[in-house]
Amino acid sequence: MERFYPIGIPGQPWTDDDRQAWFDAQTIQRSYHDEVVTSLDALDDAFEVSAYGSLPIDPDRYRLFAVTVSSSKPEAPWALITGGVHGYETSGVQGALRFLHTEAVTYQDQLNLLVAPCVSPWGYEVINRWNPNALDPNRSFYHDSPSEEAAALMAMIKGRAIDFLVHMDLHETTDSDETEFRPAVAARDGETYEPGLIPDGFYTVGDSENPMPLFQAAIIAGVEPVTHIAPPDDDGQIIGADITQPGVINYPCVELGLCAGMTNARFTTTTEVYPDSPRATDEICINAQVAAVKAGLDFSLAAASG
């Protein structure tokens, strides 16, 4: 097999030494404290920030934070918003924070919010998809998860015993998915690497077991004024899955161990912003996440009261 990734022996799954070599190649490129924690410290009094764990690689540096409403309303439904499950997907983190600093307060009479803005802070700092053990947190949402990021979030959610109406998990699809992360996962697992196409634009991933097409359509309509929606490829697909409507594909979220499958929420989605488009900027990507959250929450609230 031809070499397509610098670590390991092509065709053979990585050894512990290979994983260590991968870990040793990672470098800190930005500050979780400066870009995330200080933003949480500056939140409005309507919100309360609490730590729900920390990453063992450096517990002081990588404390895990959730934001909730300071006083919850017993009659109002709950919404869960997660960002940074993939730490390198910047607008997922910064979009969740921007929502908290701008629009979130307008929902306080109708909705109880729980937001985990940066589930994978080490990944945020090293700008990588995986956690320190070369695991993808967004394939690790299952019982006894080996990903500390996924396990801590699931334990926090379970402990709160909330019935969520809606869960939105904020992500990006990047050019580095094709140049780095898809080759890395094939190399790690001893498989061949099949090149794929990165779609130019925003899309959502619904749950094939609970697709909620009108909810997904409402999110697409909400994001469209902010950034362009990804067209399907010549096979009618986005990242290898058939589109079910413009800008929407479905995955079996629970079976794949995706964060979006971690609750029994009636409405769930994974947003996918494309930051590498010549037509996108960092600011557009953040605004697209905020628009997606607003559209998803508005649709869910209308459905719950209707």
How is residue 231 written in tokens?
A: 């067209």
Minimum CB–partner distance for residue 181 and Zn ion (Å): 9
Please report whether residue 182 would count as binding Zn ion according to CB under 5 A: no
Three-state secondary structure call for residue 138: helix
86 sits near Zn ion (criterion: CB under 5 A)? yes
Q: How far is the CB of 148 from Zn ion (least distance, A)?
A: 17
Going by the DSSP 8-state scheme, the letter that residue 229 receives in this structure is B
Whole-number minimum distance, CB 169 to Zn ion, in Å? 8
Q: Which part of the chain contacts Zn ion (CB under 5 A), choosing from 16-24, 33-41, 109-117, 164-172?
A: 164-172
**Least spacing, CB of residue 89 vs Zn ion, in Å:** 5
The stretch near Zn ion (CB under 5 A) out of 6-14, 169-177, 194-202, 231-239 is: 169-177
Compute how many residues bind Zn ion; rule: CB under 5 A.
3
* Minimum CB–partner distance for residue 170 and Zn ion (Å): 9
Q: Give the amino acid at 251.
A: Y
Q: How far apart are the first and last CA of the chain?
A: 57
Of 207-226, binders to Zn ion (CB under 5 A) are none
| CA distance linking residue 99 with residue 12, whole number of Å | 44
* Residues with Cβ within 8 Å of residue 73, at least 6 apart in sequence: 109, 112
Cα 145 to the chain's mean position, in Å? 17
Q: Which is nearer to Zn ion, 86 or 182 (CB)?
A: 86
- Locate 86 and state its tokens: 């993939």
Question: Residue 171, interface with Zn ion (CB under 5 A)?
Answer: yes
Would you state the structure tokens that stand for residue 35, as one six-digit string? 């870009």
Stretch of 82-90, 106-114, 191-199, 281-289 lying at the interface with Zn ion (CB under 5 A): 82-90
Instruction: Please state, in angstroms and rounded to a whole number, the distance separating the CA atoms of residues 297 and 145.
Output: 29
By beta-carbon proximity to Zn ion, the closer residue of 107 and 274 is: 274
Which residues, numbered 136-155, are part of the site for Zn ion (CB under 5 A)? none
Per the structure block, which two tokens stand in for 171?
Answer: 């992500």
Q: Which of 84, 102, 124, 110 is nearest to 273 (CA)?
A: 84
Span near Zn ion by CB under 5 A; candidates 117-125, 148-156, 167-175, 190-198:
167-175
**Interface ranges with Zn ion (CB under 5 A):** 86, 89, 171
